[in-house]
Chain A
Amino acid sequence: MSIAMPALDAGTLAKRDRIIAAMRSIVPGEGVIEDAASLRPWESDGLTAYRQPPMLVVLPETVEQVSAVLRWCHAENVKVVPRGSGTSLSGGALPLGDAVLLGMGKFKRVLAIDYEDRVAIVQPGVTNLAITQAVEARGFYYAPDPSSQIACSIGGNVAENSGGVHCLKYGLTTNNVLGVEVVLMDGEIVRLGGPHLDPGGLDLLGIIVGSEGLLGVVTEVTVRLLPKPETARAVLVGFPDPESAGACVAQVIAEGIIPAGMEMMDRTAIHAAEAFVRVGYPLDVGALLIIEVDGPGTECGHLIGEIARIADENGAVTNRVSQDESERMAFWAGRKAAFPAVGRISPDYYCMDGTIPRRRLPEVLRRMEELSQKYGLGVANVFHAGDGNLHPLILYDANVPGQLDRAEEFGNDILRLCVEVGGVLTGEHGVGIEKRDLMPEMFTEADLTQQQCIKWAFDPALLLNPGKVFPTLHRCSELGRMHVHHAALPFPDLPRF
């Protein structure tokens, strides 16, 4: 629990009753939650080690209400934390004790589907999977598939630029969103992009996606739909060690194949998954790859053959090709259950999310093992091998004093290692609060200042989701006359942290 959140603003807390009354005047009925017991369920997101009940929860139903809430909070210098389904693994939606938690869960409608132009317009509270469910009868789907897709909202996906196991081939959220309607902190409603490609001007849509709720509140999303591939087939390949599995991955790509998914599990993860779901994973291997190809049937057949050959050339010791859909799903069942499976072998686990250049994998795994011994905590490795996105799961017991702190330190060292070898702090889970204080490992002060200048352009009063992403909130003092003007805003006591 080493990450400090901004100090509470006494002025805000003192006027809590007035804030509640104002919110009720904008969002009538049950859309404002303020009693302590009812606030409790909102106290954390998917990063459950951190808990903080919000000052109050507001659940608007229309863009006009969102705009009015933000405009009022802006005028009154009240912080706002936006929230989708609350599945963030990095604490992006962690409430603040002196902030309005703006839940977008009531924005549940699919507004329009255009099969001819292959786009859908949806409200932000629609779940990721619900988009696919709305269009699958016509043979379409929405490609990004984060593991929380039954629960996570498309608005949250936009905020976090969510990925999934298929993003090597199909991209992240940012590559599959064409437009958003977004409300800025001062209540202004702007539309960025729309149901066509490449609007001119600066790509502000591109900066909204992945901005972790710091720049605006998304109230509508236009997504690209893709035709569902004719077939998908998977091959399950066991290797004596992660090095040979990594060499196989590199050769697959070098031979021009971009699989739909390419997942690796280490021995610990394989054993945990097999013990949990019993899908027939080989237990005498050091690493397991699940390689999935999709597309026309002829193509899948051809590629499966090529992949089997490449696997053999890299010393595969087991090699199974899915013969039907149920077997393909069984291959995935173990991988998809890897997190809860690890939860059975350890009281708690902490999921990391760095990306590395794939060629550095053997070195990273070796040094991770050294760290594991240094901290006295086990680690299971599951990762998106195609794009080098690691998900080490650090095993610990929160009931043992000191273990959570050790797990966090271990995790920080893993992420520092990722950056050291040329990688990044987060491949898909976001910075949130979790990696906030590690940002200087990857970026210089000048780099971070430049990013924060964007924050200033959207939210000069720094009221939207403060305490996330950036270790310290700067004023962009060099920004010239316009920002000098804003630097003189009537909030000189704004907390810095």
Chain B
Amino acid sequence: MLEPRDANDLRQIVADAVAAGKKLELSGGGTRADFGAPRDAAAVSLAALAGIVDYDPAELVLTVRPGTPLADVQALVASEGQMLAFEPWGDAGATIGGSVAAGAAGSRRVTAGSARDHLLGFTAVSGRGDSFVAGAKVVKNVTGFDLPKLMAGSWGRIGAMTELSLKVLPRPRLTQTLAAEGLSPAAAHAAMACALGSNADVSAAAHLSRGITLLRVAGFAPSVEARCIALPGLLREHCALAKIDEAEAAPLWAEAMTGAQLSGAVHWRIHLPPRRAPDLLAALDPLGIDWAMDWGGGRVWIALGQADTRVRTVAAGFGGEAALVRADAAMRAAVPALHPRAPGLAALEQRVRRAFDPAGVFATGRFMEDAHADPLSA
């Protein structure tokens, strides 16, 4: 494990690896290491690049080093009555840099955006071993290409962040969950679509396989209370909504957000047009699945007992993309973690990766499309 103490160390490590023709795997807390194919690249831990660089709550901007524990960052902004609105999540030990690089977003993503929407700027070391800056430390900026979009969710394939600036937002003063029971996936989707399409400002909507539908209402107390009174009426044709205690709601939301509790050794995450989610579930039902719907149906977690790649082809048939998020090493070695791209798009992605990393020092084989899309590696 290589452990750079600062950006200079990191530049040297990358330059050395390029010179030696070696591969580097960028790592935060290592909590998502089981995503993607097994690989033997040298790990570079960014954990020592930690700490808050600048935080002025009134500016809505937080600048932090990537190895800072996610929990520390969330505690810091919470202490100022703020939050990372994309609701990043991870296991204990997850870092802010790793969470952004994984594009990990919670249930609020459906209304508040993902990591991509909140990463304002960064400093990074490219695959050339150069430090570069992209974006900025203000909330509104269109100067130059929007490289932060590429960095969020890039899984360490275009550069090693040494500093990142995130947009922060006020934390809702009150959060209340409304729940309904006994809905089918189709009825739940219709109810969630009605709620998210209403002007009652529902910030998250999820549905669990045991028939529990969740709607989140957040904001200032008088507004939350008024909306919690209005929503059952708005949705009366869909379901009977009732307030539930937040202590009871929190683990339910966690289930919907992570899919981690689902029974089955193999987990998939499918992003698709929400209206297709009920039919997707019906089509996958014969495989013996457990599931959870988040984002009003736009994100579906699927768990099953066997290494069955039909999940991916079925998802594609419903306009979706399936990522393999949990499987044994043998399956991960055989099945790409990310949904395969169309050939033209795969080639374009590959050119963009090479724009940051011409030698492929960050192309560790973790995402097998690297090899498939690269005519030069043959």
Contacts A206-B150, A210-B146 given; indicate if A200 touches B323 (C-beta within 8 A): yes
Interface string of A326-358 (1 = CB under 8 A from B): 000000000000000000000000000001111
Q: How many residues of B contact A (CB 8 A)?
A: 92
Does A451 lie within 8 Å of B144, measured CB to CB? yes
A197, A204, A253, A388, most chain B CB atoms within 10 A: A197
Q: How long is the Cα–Cα vector from A457 to B347 in the complex, in angstroms?
A: 10
Contact of A227 among B57, B197, B298 (CB under 8 A): B197
| B196 located at the interface, meaning its Cβ lies under 8 Å from any Cβ of chain A in the complex | yes
A241 nearest CB across to chain B (Å): 19
A136 to chain B, nearest CB (A): 13
Complex contacts, B109 vs chain A, CB 8 Å? 197-198
- B128 interface residue (CB < 8 Å to A): yes
* Contacts known (A174-B146, A253-B170); A296 close to B227, Cβ less than 8 A: yes
Confirm or deny: B73 has a beta carbon within 8 angstroms of a beta carbon on chain A.
no
Interface members, chain B 254-271 (any A CB < 8 Å): 271
- Interface segment out of the listed B40-48, B88-96, B198-206, B235-243: B198-206
Q: What class of interface size applies to chain A in its complex with B?
A: 35 or more
Whether A198 lies near B105 (C-beta < 8 A) is yes
Cβ of A29 to closest chain B Cβ, rounded Å = 30
Q: When chains A and B are docked, how far (Å) is the Cα of A230 from the Cα of B200? A: 8
Q: How far is the CA of A254 from the CA of B57 in the complex (A)?
A: 7
Q: Which residue of B lies closest to A253 (CB)?
A: B58
* Distance A479 CA – B341 CA, assembled complex (angstroms): 23
With a cutoff of 8 Å between Cβ atoms, the chain A residues found around residue B84 in the complex are none
Inter-chain contact B58/A299, CB cutoff 8 Å: no
B32 contacts chain A at the CB level, 8 A cutoff: no
Residue B116 is within 8 A (CB to CB) of chain A in the complex: yes
Task: Name the distance in Å between A205's Cβ and chain B's nearest Cβ.
Answer: 8
* Stretch in A78-86, A125-133, A442-450 with 4+ CB within 8 Å of B: A442-450
- A244 contacts partner chain B, Cβ-Cβ < 8 Å: no
- Which residues of B91-111 are within 8 A (CB) of A? 103, 105, 109-110
Do B142 and A160 touch (CB < 8 A)? yes
Q: Is the CB of B222 within 8 A of A450?
A: no
Is B226 a contact partner of A254 (Cβ separation < 8 A)?
no
**B233 is an interface residue with CB less than 8 A from chain A:** no
Other-chain residue from A227, A256, A387 in contact with B140 (beta carbon distance below 8 A): A387
Assembly CA distance A422 to B135 (angstroms): 12
Residues of chain A within 8 A of B321, CB atoms compared: 196, 199-200
Would A230 and B199 count as touching, CB distance under 8 A? yes
Select which of A192, A256, A450 is within 8 A of B345 by beta carbon: A192
Tell me if A280 counts as interface (CB < 8 A to partner B).
no
With the chains together, A298 CA to B223 CA distance in Å?
5
Task: Return B79 CB to nearest CB of chain A, in Å.
Answer: 13
In chain B between 44 and 58, which residues have their CB closer than 8 angstroms to a CB of chain A?
56-58
* Cβ-neighbour of B146 out of A161, A254, A358 (below 8 A): A161
Contact A204 B349, beta carbon cutoff 8 Å:
yes
- The yes or no answer to B147 lying at the interface (CB within 8 A) is yes
Q: How far does the alpha carbon of A299 sit from the alpha carbon of B227 in the complex, in Å? A: 9
Of B58, B117, B144, the residue contacting A359 (CB under 8 A) is B58
Complex contacts, B319 vs chain A, CB 8 Å: 194-196
A201 and B58: CB pair below 8 A?
Answer: no
CA distance A388 to B136 in the complex (A): 13
Q: Is A465 an interface residue (CB 8 A)?
A: no
Taking CB atoms and an 8 Å cut-off, the chain A residues in 206-235 that contact chain B are 206-207, 209-211, 227-230
* B353 contacts partner chain A, Cβ-Cβ < 8 Å: yes
Count chain A CB atoms within 10 A of each CB in B57, B190, B201, B299 and give the residue with the most: B201
Chain A residues numbered 149-201 whose CB sits less than 8 Å from any CB in chain B: 160-161, 163, 167-168, 171-172, 174-175, 184, 188-192, 194-201
Question: A-facing mask of B142-159, CB < 8 A → 1, else 0?
Answer: 111111111011100110
Judge whether B141 and A450 touch: CB under 8 Å.
Answer: no
Of B128, B200, B369, which is in contact with the most chain A CB atoms at under 10 Å from its CB? B128
- Residue from A190, A198, A458, A482 within 8 A of B153 (CB atoms): A198
Q: Is the CB of A196 within 8 A of B130?
A: no
* Nearest 9 pairs of A and B residues by beta carbon: A206-B149, A480-B358, A299-B223, A256-B170, A453-B355, A298-B226, A457-B351, A387-B140, A200-B338
B: which residues have CB within 8 A of A?
Answer: 56-61, 81, 103, 105, 109-110, 113-114, 116-117, 126, 128, 130-134, 136-150, 152-154, 157-158, 169-171, 173, 190, 193, 196-201, 219-220, 222-223, 225-227, 230, 271-275, 295, 298-299, 319-321, 323, 338-339, 341-342, 344-345, 348-349, 351-356, 358-359, 369, 376
A-B contact pairs, 27 of them (CB 8 A): A116-B274, A117-B273, A118-B197, A119-B273, A139-B197, A140-B197, A168-B140, A171-B113, A188-B344, A197-B110, A202-B150, A206-B146, A207-B146, A253-B58, A253-B60, A254-B58, A256-B171, A257-B170, A295-B199, A296-B227, A388-B140, A435-B143, A449-B130, A450-B355, A451-B134, A456-B355, A482-B351
